[in-house]
Amino acid sequence: MNAIADRYAERGIGSYFLYTHEAHPGENIAHLTSFEQKLEHAAKLRDELGVARPIVVDSLDGACHRAYGSMPNMTWIFTRAGIPVYKSDWTDAASVENAIEYFLQGVERRQEGQRLAPFYVERLDFRVQDRQAFYKGLERNGPKAVEEFRNAFG
Amino acid sequence: MSEDALIQRYNYDSFVPDNFMPWMRFDASPKLGDPAPDFPLWDLEGQESNLSSLWSQHLYTILEFGSYT
């Protein structure tokens, strides 16, 4: 997602990361109890996990996250007027880039004189499922995070 | 639910279905094509802005939701 942000920045595409809540809290990264702690965790995400896009932080009660469906790693795309034109319940860089390319083509088609009207489409995309990398991430959070995920999903 | 209770429930301390499943309501999320709800957000220095101030700066704005864990 960082690479997409870099690739499309000069074509008018803004990219942000919104910090929500700890989905898999553990001994090393605890659940959130204060807004100051939330800011600290968001800074760790930037410094330790390399999120290079601007990070914005939701309120401690997750008002924005909850209003948009509360999925742990979803992605939305908005127009300049605040109209959502893409939403995915999980983040996949290829899916996001595909959508951005399509929307930018729409801009070009309009510049070429085509009259375009929006329509609704649903699609089932695919994401990489790397169980090993996921468990490595859980281990970083602490043994409790690993055990709880194993208990919930095996 | 009081604000304190909401904060505690949303920021659960254990990943067990009773804690995380009630929050996952993508089916009830805002509709594509309709104006999106705006919310206050903060940068890492604690400066307040809002979601609309992000999307209004760009032709399109990608917003990824997530956390360290």
**Residues of B with Cβ-Cβ distance to A25 under 8 angstroms:** 12-15, 69
DSSP 8-state symbol, A90? S
Please list the pLDDT of chain B residue by residue as tens digits (69 residues): 999 999 999 999 999 999 999 999 999 999 999 999 999 999 999 999 999 999 999 999 999 999 999
Query: For A62-91, what is each residue's pLDDT tens digit?
Result: 999 999 999 999 999 999 999 999 999 999
Q: Would the pTM of this model clear 0.95, i.e. be above it? A: yes
Q: What is the pLDDT of residue B6?
A: 97
Compute the Cα dihedral for A14, A20, A22, A24 and give only its sign.
negative
**Residues of A with Cβ-Cβ distance to B36 under 8 angstroms:** 76, 78, 82-84
CA dihedral A47, A53, A56, A62 (to 10 degrees): -90
Query: For A86-128, what is each residue's pLDDT tens digit?
Result: 999 999 999 999 999 999 999 999 999 999 999 999 999 999 9
CA-nearest residue to A5 within chain B is B62
Distance from CA of B68 to the nearest CA of A (A): 5
Look-up: residue for tokens 């997409």?
A4
A82 SS3 class: coil
ipTM for this model: 0.97
Compute the Cα dihedral for B31, B32, B33, B37 and give only its sign.
positive
Q: What is the pLDDT of residue A113?
A: 98
Contact A22, A58 (CB under 8 A): no
Q: Nearest by CB to B41, which of A1, A18, A145?
A: A18
The pLDDT of residue A154 is above 90? no
Which residue type does B40 have? P
The pLDDT of residue A6 is above 80? yes
- Three-class secondary structure assignment of B2-69: CHHHHHHHHCCCCCCHHHHHHHCCHHHCCCCCCCCCCCEEECCCCCEEEHHHHHCCCCEEEEEEECCC
